[in-house]
Structure 1
Amino acid sequence: MEPTAGRNSSAAEARDYGAWKARNAPDDVRRRSHRTALEDVRRARPAVEARFERDWGMLLPEEIFTFRAFLRALTPEEQRAMRDLDLHPFGLMDLFDDPHREARPGLDVRVHGRYYRDPPEFVTFMHGGTDGLHFGLWFDDGRTCTGVAGYYNNDGGGVGIPGGTPLREVRRVLERRWRDLGDEDADATGPLNPDRAPRAFRLRLLRETLVSFEPDDVTAEGEAYHRADWERLPRELRAHGDPRRIATLDGAGALVTGRTALDRAPQLLWDDHDFCTGLWRVLTGDRSATDAAVAEAKRRCAAGDPAEALVLGRDLHWASGSDPDRERQAGELLTMAYRTLGRPALAAIADAHHRHRDLPSVAVLAG
């Protein structure tokens, strides 16, 4: 059940929402905010792009500037809606506030917003509020953005195959919350929570602004949105995974060609329980077997095939679990693989992360 159903008729709710919006976020005010936000981002863009390319060695996608403009255009009610969703810009988005801000002494700026298990390809742009949930741009080639991924650093589940945009991730979170509001209506036995209507209005307003910045051909809401979002993925990808990506323990897959020691399947859109459980057991079990696998991956990489070094390095990085040997082996394999693949920015990030994986906070910018 959606929030517009149940004990409040959709017509009555639409009328109430229109009156609420006219009081709290008039259309003319929102249109001016939209234009002003786009202009603010246009002026700030060159300095942010230059800083990110200089220190991270990569190019920011157009979609991150759209995301910044969206954030700048939000009314106070929409800002409250973002807080209701527990979504907060973080990581590389801090560069927009001051593109010249440096890291604290002794720290590498490239680990700002970098959580313990983040693969080097992942660059955080938004925090999700609970269990280390965060979202990042994904750079397969260490230069250009492939898409967006998100995961819980402190909980189970993997990163998933990257795709979509920052605003698509906001929309997905929003529609999950919209579904939850409908569940509140369905489960209620007494009077409705008086805060329910304002929460629904704020989410509806936020959705309108989001779509104004990034139109979406899926117009469904709540659970129906998520069904349609899944169904618009290619059928083969949904059924068999991404054939371009070799399966990795983190669930994102490695974009690389070559031979691997294990018979790895293409990366699936969901966790392969048997593969993950078996590989985790191997990597965290017999130390001598892991040492031998690392030596073999290095040998193959030195001979010109970095595929095993990349996938095993990513697996060890994900399964490090604060074990110094696994952390060291992951860092060595990843830097070696990225350099062989011609991805120097990722090699530098992997090295920086290895040196700073024990930081008590992922916020490293000064001030």
Structure 2
Amino acid sequence: MPEQRTGTAERHAAVRERVDRDWGLELPECLFRYDSFLASLDPDQARVLTDLELSPFGISDLFADPGAAPSDADVDVRAHGRFYRDPPEFLTFMHGGSDGLHFGLWFADGRTCSGVASYYNNDAGELDMTSSTPLEAVRARVEMSCRDMHDYYEGDELAERLQRLAGLRDAVTAFETGDRPKVGVAYLKKHVFVWPPIFDDSATTLDRGGALADGETVLGRPGQNRTDPATFARAVFPTLDDAEKLAAAVEEARRRCADGDPAEALALGRDLHWTSGFDEVREAYAHELLAAAYQALDRPALAGIADAHHRHRRIKSVQVL
């Protein structure tokens, strides 16, 4: 592994302390490897990363200045890098270019990182949960580009572009995924587009991130990846799209949460958050249910993030720092 720059350990410690203090989250070592990877890139490798439209963003901005404060004192720092549909469990660390693609650390338990999620904020797609670390996400984008190059280029130009991608791949594997020799389509089949998918016992949600909570849900939601997304959506939307049914569903989630079972409040709250679509009623229901569920589950960090997000959800720019 390449040597760290002078002062890197101190800077990383400052970022870790800042996020623990202001967000209440414990940053994983894999995020610090991502920062060290960025610092290790030579000009050609950095240019290829830029060509892939991957750039540090969100929480990664603290690596440049761990003490950075919001440019507007009235804006909660936890709104930085937080797009409209980001679940509270999602902490942005990298932007991906077009259509609002961005990547976030995933904090299912409200304290420790359990993986990486990504999605296109401007599209209707779901969360992609196939990467475990930031550098796995970068490696996946490298191999997707390698695959796609064959559709657009040939001959010497194709060879040159693949060689440049290989240089960036080498930079990634110096830190992670060095034990994965396959490239391009072969890599994607083995490590990204895996079938059958990995099952997850967290209750299925419309964003496909899952609601981690013991207890029962109204729909008896199956674990993640145990149901077809379209079939699940057809079971959920009749309630979300009917004002009277939705009000009754929210009241039932409230009752269950007050009785000690927050599973329905968390799952329904996440569905409403994901599908709010600038609807004030859905936004308010989502905020209420999520705040109640996170408090009941002893996840105060997520409750605070949900509150900050609700207050600044319609902010004009997610560039807060």
TM range, normalised to the smaller chain?
A: over 0.9
**1:204 — aligned with what?**
166
The question of whether the paired residues in 1 share the 8 Å contact of 2:239 and 2:249 is answered with no
Are 2:96 and 1:128 equivalent residues in the alignment? Answer: yes
> Which structure has the larger Rg?
1
Gaps of 5+ in 2: none
Give the Cα–Cα distance (whole angstroms) in 1 for the partners of residues 182 and 76 of structure 2.
43
**2:50 — aligned with what?**
83
The question of whether the paired residues in 2 share the 8 Å contact of 1:160 and 1:270 is answered with no
1:275 CA displacement = 0.9
**2:69 — aligned with what?**
102
1:274 CA displacement = 1.5
Are 2:266 and 1:310 equivalent residues in the alignment? Answer: yes
Give the Cα–Cα distance (whole angstroms) in 2 for the partners of residues 160 and 222 of structure 1.
19
**2:223 — aligned with what?**
266
Cα distance change of structure 1 residues 217 and 193 upon mapping to structure 2, 3 Å threshold: closer
**1:225 — aligned with what?**
187
Instruction: Find 2:199's aligned residue among 220, 241, 259.
Output: 241
1:264 CA displacement = 1.0
Identity %: 50
**1:279 — aligned with what?**
236
Give the Cα–Cα distance (whole angstroms) in 1 for the partners of residues 198 and 44 of structure 2.
42
The question of whether the paired residues in 1 share the 8 Å contact of 2:88 and 2:306 is answered with yes
Cα distance change of structure 1 residues 162 and 333 upon mapping to structure 2, 3 Å threshold: farther
Cα distance change of structure 1 residues 239 and 80 upon mapping to structure 2, 3 Å threshold: closer
1:271 CA displacement = 5.7
Q: What letter is aligned with 2:135?
A: L
CA deviations 1:302-346 (Å, max 9, x no partner) are 110000000000000001000000000000000000000000000
Give the Cα–Cα distance (whole angstroms) in 1 for the partners of residues 274 and 186 of structure 2.
33
Cα distance change of structure 1 residues 212 and 240 upon mapping to structure 2, 3 Å threshold: closer
Cα distance change of structure 1 residues 129 and 163 upon mapping to structure 2, 3 Å threshold: closer
| Structure 1: 4+ residue segments shifted above 6 A | none
1:121 CA displacement = 0.3
Give the Cα–Cα distance (whole angstroms) in 1 for the partners of residues 216 and 227 of structure 2.
23
Q: Size of the alignment, in residue pairs?
A: 320
Q: What letter is aligned with 1:312?
A: L
Alignment of 1:62-211 (within 5 A): 62-103=29-70, 104-161=72-129, 163-185=131-153, 192=155, 194=157, 196-211=158-173
Secondary structure of the equivalent of 1:151? strand
Secondary structure of the equivalent of 2:202? strand
Instruction: Find 1:353's aligned residue among 275, 294, 309.
Output: 309
Secondary structure of the equivalent of 2:98? coil
CA deviations 1:150-177 (Å, max 9, x no partner) are 0111112211446510000000000010
Give the Cα–Cα distance (whole angstroms) in 1 for the partners of residues 124 and 227 of structure 2.
13
CA deviations 1:26-81 (Å, max 9, x no partner) are xxxxx8xx3244x4432311111110101000110000000000000101101100
The question of whether the paired residues in 1 share the 8 Å contact of 2:131 and 2:137 is answered with no
**2:209 — aligned with what?**
252
Cα distance change of structure 1 residues 89 and 337 upon mapping to structure 2, 3 Å threshold: same
Give the Cα–Cα distance (whole angstroms) in 2 for the partners of residues 217 and 328 of structure 1.
47
Please give the TM-score of this superposition, normalised by the length of structure 1. 0.83
Which range moved further: 343-352 or 198-207? 198-207
1:180 CA displacement = 1.2
Give the Cα–Cα distance (whole angstroms) in 1 for the partners of residues 187 and 233 of structure 2.
29
1:282 CA displacement = 2.8
Give the Cα–Cα distance (whole angstroms) in 2 for the partners of residues 280 and 94 of structure 1.
37
| Alignment RMSD | 1.9
